[in-house]
Amino acid sequence: MSAVMTSAAPRPKASFTTIAAITIGNGLEFFDFITYSFFAVVIGHLFFPVKSSTVGLMLALGSFGIAFLARPVGGLVLGLYADRSGRKPAMTLTLILMAVGSLGVALAPTYEQIGVWAPIWLVGARLIQGFSLGGEVGASTSLLLEYADDHSRGYFGSYQFVSQGLSSLFGAAVATLLTNTLSHDALYSWGWRIPFFIGVLLVPIGVYIRRHLDETLGPVAHKGESATATIKDAFQAHARLIWSGVLMVLGGTVATYIIVFYIPTYATHFLHMPLSLTLWASVTASAVLIPVSIYAGRLSDRVGRIPVTWWARAALVVLVVPGFMLLIAHPTEWVLIGVVAVLSVLLALQASPGITFITELYPRPIRATSLSVVYSVGVAVFGGSAQLIVTWLIQVTGSELAPAWYMIVATLLSSLPLLWLKETAGKPI
């Protein structure tokens, strides 16, 4: 086995400014990536013009999901870069790549303009976005935890989901504003492009902010082997933890992409609620994620990652079907917001400690790479496909409860590693 020697850099002094710098950059990148899902119905019409609206929606969701195929590759390449060259340069590179992909989406000609090349262009831009985001989570979460002491990592790690909540909130707010102020023709003609241009324009802010962060990796010495061999040996030594991490990601990512991003599409397409109304569900979910993620992180510092994750997942399994049944029976604005709010609380309670727990499993020399690959594979296989799969399940079964049952199966499978993994809260990493 190769020698990978990392002498940890002295832990920099943590401050709210530090957390904000990491969080804002991470949030900007997620904003660029997830805004696409809020306009799935519009994109399906413009880039995948088929007779069946459901098939068009599935194709649009498929193009959303295809970006996730690039995330494991980006996770490996950019995570390796973060573990060898530092968290800061990797995080700056991911922002620049995201700007390129987002600009590609913003400028994409429609099917009416260039025919079959339109979806090809769109998919290419989405793949660049996916590659970029694949390396972001590992580098930024590693940096957050390496700034923290042993008794506050849950709190620091929670800001990974705070940043995602902020980006979702911003994206949903922009989408809601556009759908409520623009005419149908204006929205479909040019309005849907505005969020992607906004994302591109905000990237330089993230790059500037990240330049002032302190590095936490420390000097790394690699004796005689290539980076690929070094990581291969390290992954073989921690294979059980790698696969456990992928399973842990499964439940949280499926719940996230259904509760936060899919429910507006679901309510619009299957419950026939107006898009201008259903987007408030994503606003609600995002607003809930922010404070509850912080609370869950602090709670996991006190009582442990495993107990908080266990109870949140158990509650989700019990409540998700009744929640969907209530929404189907009473498809009104306040029922939609109420159901999404409750499910979002349970999502934040499991996801916030979960990302910290997974990160703590891996040693510093391979931490960013391991988390990037684990998170990207889990999200690519399960999260990126969730919206497409549940739409297909509704189509073939005729049951509008399919998303709820799918979440239950994913949550139960994702909880299995909690049976054999050991608690990490309060222990040195």
Q: What is the pLDDT of residues 325-352, one digit of tens each?
A: 999 999 998 999 999 999 999 999 998 8
The confidence score (pLDDT) of residue 14 equals 60
CA gap 305, 423 in Å, rounded:
7
* 148 to 13, 154, 192: CA distances (angstroms): 9, 9, 40
CA gap 355, 358 in Å, rounded:
5
Average pLDDT over residues 75-84: 80
CA gap 152, 425 in Å, rounded:
9
CA gap 220, 240 in Å, rounded:
25
Domain presence at residue 189: yes
Q: Mean pLDDT check: name the lowest of 18-22, 77-81, 145-149.
A: 18-22
Is the pLDDT higher at 110 or at 35?
110
Domain presence at residue 424: no
Q: Mean pLDDT check: name the lowest of 35-49, 143-157, 206-220.
A: 206-220
CATH of the domain at 381: 1.20.1250.20
Is the pLDDT higher at 65 or at 242?
242
CA gap 255, 345 in Å, rounded:
11
DSSP H stretches of helix in 361-401:
367-378, 384-397
Give the structural domain span for 152: 14-212+226-419
Best CA proximity match to 141, nearest among 51, 61, 75: 75
Q: How confident is the model at residue 426 (pLDDT cuts 50, 70, 90)?
A: confident
Domain presence at residue 8: no
Give the three-state DSSP class for 225.
Answer: coil
CA gap 134, 261 in Å, rounded:
19
The confidence score (pLDDT) of residue 64 equals 66
Pair 380, 69: CB distance under 8 Å: yes
Q: How confident is the model at residue 1 (pLDDT cuts 50, 70, 90)?
A: very low
The confidence score (pLDDT) of residue 40 equals 75
CA gap 118, 105 in Å, rounded:
10
pLDDT tens digits for 128-173?
988 888 777 777 888 888 888 889 999 999 998 888 888 888 887 8
Q: Which of 141-150, 199-208, 385-394 has the highest mean pLDDT?
A: 385-394
Strand partners, 5: 221
427: burial class by Cβ within 10 Å (0-12, 13-18, 19+)?
exposed
If residue 198 lies in a helix (H) or strand (E), which one and from where to where?
helix 194-210
Average pLDDT over residues 91-117: 88
Pair 351, 314: CB distance under 8 Å: no
pLDDT at 5 over 60: no
The confidence score (pLDDT) of residue 231 equals 63
Domain presence at residue 281: yes
pLDDT tens digits for 286-334?
889 999 999 999 999 999 999 999 999 999 999 999 999 999 999 998 9
Q: For residue 300, count other CB atoms closer than 10 A to its CB.
A: 28
Domain presence at residue 55: yes
Number of domains within the chain: 1
Q: How confident is the model at residue 223 (pLDDT cuts 50, 70, 90)?
A: very low
Q: Which tokens sit at 243?
A: 């696969």
Domain presence at residue 218: no
Averaged pLDDT of the chain: 83
CA gap 268, 233 in Å, rounded:
49
Domain presence at residue 3: no
- Burial string for 27-59 (b: 16+ CB within 10 Å, else e) reads bbbbbbbbbbbbbbbbbbbbbbeeeeeeebbbb
The confidence score (pLDDT) of residue 222 equals 46
pLDDT at 390 over 60: yes
The confidence score (pLDDT) of residue 191 equals 92
Pair 167, 293: CB distance under 8 Å: no
Is the pLDDT higher at 39 or at 256?
256
Average pLDDT over residues 204-228: 61
The confidence score (pLDDT) of residue 6 equals 47
How does DSSP classify residue 364?
G
pLDDT at 7 over 60: no
Domain presence at residue 220: no
Q: What share of the chain is helix, strand, coil (3-state, %, to 5)?
A: 80, 0, 15
pLDDT at 45 over 70: yes
Give the three-state DSSP class for 221.
Answer: strand
Best CA proximity match to 159, nearest among 355, 415, 428, 3: 355
Q: Mean pLDDT check: name the lowest of 5-19, 49-63, 166-180, 226-240.
A: 5-19
